[in-house]
Chain A
Amino acid sequence: MGLIVAVVVLLATIVGSLAVGARYIPPADVLRALVDAVEGRGSGEIHEIVVGLRLPRAFVGAVVGASLGVAGALIQALTRNPLADPGILGVNAGAGFLVTVGIGWFGVGDIQGYVWFSFAGAAAATLLVFVIGNTGPSGATPVRLTLVGVALGALLSGISSMISLLNPTVFEGMRFWGAGTLTSRDEHVLWAVLPFILIGLVLAATVAAPLNAIALGEDLARSLGAGVLRTRITVIVAVTLLAGAATAAAGPIGFVGLMVPHVVRWFVGPDQKWILVYTAVCAPILLLGADVVGRVVVPPQEMQVGIVTAFIGAPVLVYLARRRKITGL
């Protein structure tokens, strides 16, 4: 029942994002534009705003939101840290680093180009974190992965900042991508990242049960037949695919992967199967809602969704950290 309600709210949010923005468009006009698009006709300002700008933006937002949320749920389960974020594996920093390289050295100038550099950077960073974290006798424990991810993320972020400050072209390019935005994200971006996100979601579904077992302790998990190392690797691959593709599509957007799984656990408890499903539905609600807020809060300009989620997420994070009992994993 709760899931049905969540899906209805998500659909309403998507419809709302088609009507509400810098320019309000009545629902009747939205519907007419959608029907015209389905019938292969339609033109003019309303059609272009609804079908050309907001519809692909809504789809990208839903997919990116689901990816970030599920990636957050996975990383919190893997690291046994309810306040962990997908970026903790260096995904955002790796993506940002290669995007700066792409802009500065390869002349990449638009989102279609950023996507591939961003994804490659995210994948490379996560791989590097795993390789470094796996050295030593204790292997890739959650604590080691977290520490290496934070360290590598700080290094790559610093280098990216240095490049941006020294190269005006890079600074101009990163100005748009670096804040995290859904503006001007079209179907090309969606199709570019969708395959990776779908694979990531499938992998996430396969590790839900093992993660429940690991939550009881590694020894108990092994006795229950859950492959601890295999689960960790699968989670890391899934997080890389999901968070990497999401960052490639929309730039670094924080707090979605942190907040939504946490709030979902309040309602569904510690079962990873339900956490992942509800997160996949609720995270897009948050992201699309934040995107709509960004379009109406500072007219006639827009505020990037990454900034809005930060405004929402920071106080929530402070509240969560101050709670005496943080929702357990």
Chain B
Amino acid sequence: MPRVAPLRPRLAVPLTVALLLVGLTACSAEPADTAAADAADTRTVETAYGEVEVPTEPLRVVAVSYDTPWQLAAVGVTPVAMQDYSAYAESFTADQQELIADTDTVGAFFDLNIEAVMAAEPDLIVGDVLEIDEATFDELSKIAPTAIFEGEYRGDWRVIGASIADAVGNADAFDSAEAAYDEELARVQEEYADVIERPWAAIGDGDVEGGFSVLYPGGSVGALFFDDLGATLAPSIPEEEDGDKGWMYISPELTTTVLSGAEIIVTGANPAGELSASLAGTLTTPLFTELPASASGQVYGVWSSVTDYGTALEWLESVEQTVLIPASAS
């Protein structure tokens, strides 16, 4: 009887060839499917550095600029990584501090760690042009789609926030928050019209001890009090010079000259209502305590770090409770 070769070796070659053919067929079909799927999953947004293809529903967003995490949170997006705010934690609200504590970091203000961004495995990176120049944008674009936006001025959260909300596909949430803020603002303006029309001054930290800065309409904080709320700028405030940043340092010797015309003075404060050591010192100088607003107890510290309509609503509530209600009673 002749020997018969074992079945397995005789089938090995054709079996292998068949498997290879099936594999190749599957692979050749996949790119087309993936391309079709990709096209449906991305869309184009206009950014400060040109058009960028971003995911329609990003799942892992990394915030690379200072205000971006709050602007994302305001439209329901929690970033998977952000800057390291631990050194400034007390300047944030309780909700913001909670977000800070639970999120990975990608470096500090103006000190972005590209490797940390990469480690966060983002599918979308967002920020603004203040910190992300074009060279950094190019580096970040190698990691994931990167959408960087700019406004009309530094800290123009309305324009930048709207762009970021659009980039993450939550423009509707931004519009809803804006409508809620506008409605509440209108109520406050009507209810406290008499207080708002009194002459106000908004001041911040100075550049010398005993000095201060005046905040103007159009600046990141001045815009809240004078453009949004509609407070009347005190006539004694010097005119803003061309090219100014929305604020101007004032010598302590000019305290009376600049602030004597204000019936209400608002200053910056942290979320707990505490003033900076610099401002607290300025408020105790003899020239300041002799001001009409100080003598009548109309100097108020208001937290004003607004970056989105969510924090804008918090700011408005703070202004009402801290300034408008007490000033109405005086």
Which residue numbers of A lie inside 8 Å of B, CB to CB?
21-23, 44-45, 48-49, 52-54, 109-111, 166-168, 172-173, 175-176, 181, 183-184, 295, 299-302, 304
| B256 CB-CB contact with A under 8 Å | yes
A168 touches which of B88, B207, B281 (Cβ 8 Å): B88
Q: CA–CA, A109 to B275, complex, Å? A: 13
Whether A109 and B249, one on each chain, are in contact in the complex, defined by CB atoms closer than 8 angstroms, is no
For the complex of A and B, 3 pairs with smallest distance between CB atoms:
A22-B251, A301-B249, A184-B209
Interface residues of B in 266-299 (CB under 8 A from A): 276-278, 281, 285-287, 290
**A167-B87, A184-B252 are contacts. A304–B277 as well, Cβ < 8 Å?**
no
Name 9 A/B residue pairs within 8 A (Cβ), A-sorted: A45-B256, A172-B205, A175-B207, A176-B207, A176-B278, A300-B258, A301-B248, A301-B250, A302-B208
Min distance, Cβ A302 to any Cβ of chain B, angstroms: 5
Given A49-B287, A172-B278, A176-B207, 19 more A-B residue pairs with CB atoms under 8 Å apart are: A48-B287, A53-B252, A111-B209, A172-B205, A172-B277, A175-B207, A181-B208, A184-B209, A295-B251, A295-B253, A300-B238, A300-B249, A300-B254, A301-B208, A301-B249, A302-B207, A302-B211, A302-B251, A304-B208
**Of residues A21, A48, A175, A295, which shows the largest number of chain B Cβ atoms within 10 Å of its Cβ?**
A48
Q: CA–CA, A189 to B56, complex, Å? A: 63
Whether A22 and B88, one on each chain, are in contact in the complex, defined by CB atoms closer than 8 angstroms, is no
Q: CA–CA, A183 to B253, complex, Å? A: 10
Across chains A and B, the number of contacting residue pairs, with CB separation under 8 Å, is: 81
Hey, which chain A residues are within 8 Å of B252, CB to CB?
53, 183-184
Hey, which chain A residues are within 8 Å of B87, CB to CB?
166-168
Whether A52 and B286, one on each chain, are in contact in the complex, defined by CB atoms closer than 8 angstroms, is yes
Min distance, Cβ B236 to any Cβ of chain A, angstroms: 12
Q: What sequence of 0s and 1s flags, for each residue 234-274 of chain B, a beta carbon within 8 Å of any chain A beta carbon?
A: 00001000000000111111101110000000000000000
Q: CA–CA, A172 to B276, complex, Å? A: 9
Whether A23 and B254, one on each chain, are in contact in the complex, defined by CB atoms closer than 8 angstroms, is yes
Min distance, Cβ B60 to any Cβ of chain A, angstroms: 29
Hey, which chain A residues are within 8 Å of B251, CB to CB?
21-23, 295, 299-302
Whether B207 and A45, one on each chain, are in contact in the complex, defined by CB atoms closer than 8 angstroms, is no
Hey, which chain A residues are within 8 Å of B210, CB to CB?
53, 183-184
Hey, which chain A residues are within 8 Å of B285, CB to CB?
184
Q: CA–CA, A302 to B249, complex, Å? A: 8
Whether A22 and B209, one on each chain, are in contact in the complex, defined by CB atoms closer than 8 angstroms, is no
Which residue numbers of B lie inside 8 Å of A, CB to CB?
87-88, 205-211, 238, 248-254, 256-258, 276-278, 281, 285-287, 290
Hey, which chain A residues are within 8 Å of B207, CB to CB?
175-176, 301-302
Whether A21 and B253, one on each chain, are in contact in the complex, defined by CB atoms closer than 8 angstroms, is yes
Min distance, Cβ A3 to any Cβ of chain B, angstroms: 33
Q: CA–CA, A111 to B281, complex, Å? A: 11
A173 touches which of B88, B256, B277 (Cβ 8 Å): B277
Q: CA–CA, A25 to B254, complex, Å? A: 12
Min distance, Cβ B137 to any Cβ of chain A, angstroms: 25
**Of residues A23, A167, A173, A176, which shows the largest number of chain B Cβ atoms within 10 Å of its Cβ?**
A176
Residue of A nearest to B214 (CB): A300
Residue of A nearest to B258 (CB): A300
Min distance, Cβ A169 to any Cβ of chain B, angstroms: 8
Whether B208 and A53, one on each chain, are in contact in the complex, defined by CB atoms closer than 8 angstroms, is no
Hey, which chain B residues are within 8 Å of A54, CB to CB?
253
Residue of B nearest to A44 (CB): B290
Q: CA–CA, A304 to B249, complex, Å? A: 13
Hey, which chain A residues are within 8 Å of B250, CB to CB?
300-301
Whether B253 and A23, one on each chain, are in contact in the complex, defined by CB atoms closer than 8 angstroms, is yes
Q: CA–CA, A52 to B258, complex, Å? A: 18
Whether B290 and A45, one on each chain, are in contact in the complex, defined by CB atoms closer than 8 angstroms, is yes
Whether A301 and B287, one on each chain, are in contact in the complex, defined by CB atoms closer than 8 angstroms, is no
Q: CA–CA, A166 to B87, complex, Å? A: 8
Whether A183 and B277, one on each chain, are in contact in the complex, defined by CB atoms closer than 8 angstroms, is no
Hey, which chain B residues are within 8 Å of A300, CB to CB?
238, 248-251, 254, 258
Residue of A nearest to B87 (CB): A168
Min distance, Cβ A109 to any Cβ of chain B, angstroms: 5
Min distance, Cβ A42 to any Cβ of chain B, angstroms: 12
Min distance, Cβ B214 to any Cβ of chain A, angstroms: 9
**A110-B281, A172-B277 are contacts. A22–B286 as well, Cβ < 8 Å?**
no
Hey, which chain B residues are within 8 Å of A109, CB to CB?
277, 281
Q: CA–CA, A287 to B206, complex, Å? A: 23
Q: CA–CA, A48 to B1, complex, Å? A: 127
Min distance, Cβ A272 to any Cβ of chain B, angstroms: 37
Min distance, Cβ A170 to any Cβ of chain B, angstroms: 11
Hey, which chain A residues are within 8 Å of B248, CB to CB?
300-301
Hey, which chain B residues are within 8 Å of A22, CB to CB?
251, 253-254
Residue of A nearest to B250 (CB): A300
Min distance, Cβ A107 to any Cβ of chain B, angstroms: 9
Min distance, Cβ A117 to any Cβ of chain B, angstroms: 16
Hey, which chain B residues are within 8 Å of A49, CB to CB?
253, 287
Residue of B nearest to A22 (CB): B251
Min distance, Cβ B206 to any Cβ of chain A, angstroms: 8
Whether A181 and B209, one on each chain, are in contact in the complex, defined by CB atoms closer than 8 angstroms, is yes
Hey, which chain A residues are within 8 Å of B211, CB to CB?
183, 301-302
